Amino acid sequence: MAAVRVTVDLPYDLNLPRGEYPAGEKERVTLAKVVVLSPTHEPRPIRTRISCIFDAPDEIDRDSAMRLAARKADKVIRHANRLLRWYRQLSSLPGILEVTRAQVSPIKFTVVNSERSQIAPVQSWVLPVLEFEAEQPVSAQFATIDDLAAALRENLETANEPDVAHLNLLDAQHAKSVGRFREAVLLSWSVIDSSFVGKFEALVDEKLAKEWGEARDFLKGHDFGLRHRMTSGLRLIAGRSFFDEPNGFWNQLSTSYGKRNAIIHGGFGADEDDAEQAITVARKVLDIIDTL
């Protein structure tokens, strides 16, 4: 077996002594101080480096090694973010936020020993670093900046304000990009709650205008839960159900809904994948609402 160290450099200089820190019941991470190399003559900042060691097979093909490396990279980032959450609370430093994969790229791997050789690294683990790029803003709605400017002028001439749901979704994307993963989940679900509930209630009033008022109130009330409205309620009112959406959308929505409840009611954390899933679900909900 080879012992492989996975290393990420945090964008902070944490006021902590170097050494080992717990990462759960059995695992440990190591903190160290590093000086970031700079091609300019500016002062070289000090950063905190976090790493951990995992066992890997000596005989492993490159594709399998890369998949294992990706899993271990995600794991050390989860350990780092839990450490940062505790450090933020205990130090009362609001600027210490969780980190994304892109923020700590490149992620490095080093063989520290091998049963076959204490000197030469195992060839399979002479890996390139893993790099993740930050999500780039996409504006496919306008082909040119002149089109964007024309749309801006047109909207500014009205008394209207931008759609709050879409602004909140942009807030969720920003929260994810700066490591505020729980906020990204909650902002995404505020988009889902407000947008879907508003549309559903409008459809109930429209389709059941001549129905008994208390029946309409029941469909719009808290006793008729959100996911019930998204499925049987929407099917009865509009002939469509989120349960029937393709590509496993209902499972994604339900998983994200569970994460949202765990954050609100249990104070649980969230990671980058949770944030991305919530944003994806919210974007899909808005797309569906536009067709109702």
Enumerate domains of the chain plus CATH numbers: 2-125 (no CATH), 145-291 (1.20.120)
pTM, whole model, 2 decimals? Answer: 0.80
Distance separating alpha carbons of residues 100 and 180, to the nearest angstrom? 9
Distance separating alpha carbons of residues 59 and 61, to the nearest angstrom? 7
Distance separating alpha carbons of residues 98 and 234, to the nearest angstrom? 38
Q: Does the pLDDT at position 130 exceed 80?
A: no
Long-range Cβ pairs for the range 230-238 (8 Å, 24+): 230/196, 233/200, 234/200, 234/203, 237/200, 237/203, 237/204, 237/207, 237/208, 238/203, 238/207, 238/292
Q: What is the mean pLDDT of the chain?
A: 86
What amino acid is encoded at 168 in this protein?
N
Dump pLDDT digits (tens) for 267-284: 999 999 999 999 999 999
Give residue 250's pLDDT: 96
Q: Does the pLDDT at position 29 exceed 70?
A: yes
User: Averaged over 228-256, what is the pLDDT?
Assistant: 94
Dump pLDDT digits (tens) for 161-189: 888 898 899 999 999 999 999 999 999 99
Dump pLDDT digits (tens) for 213-235: 888 888 888 788 899 999 999 99
For the chain, the first-to-last Cα distance in angstroms comes to 57
Give residue 137's pLDDT: 55
CA atoms within 13 A on the CB side of 140: 1
The answer to whether the beta carbons of residues 207 and 218 sit under 8 Å apart is no
Sheet bearing 2-9, strands edge to edge:
19-22, 28-35, 46-56, 2-9, 108-114
Cis peptide bond upstream of 106, omega within 30: yes
Q: Could you tell me the pLDDT band of residue 211, with boundaries at 50, 70 and 90?
A: confident
**Percent of the chain having pLDDT more than 70?**
88
- Backbone region of residue 38 per phi and psi (left: phi > 0; alpha: psi in -120 to 50; beta: other values): beta
Give residue 127's pLDDT: 60
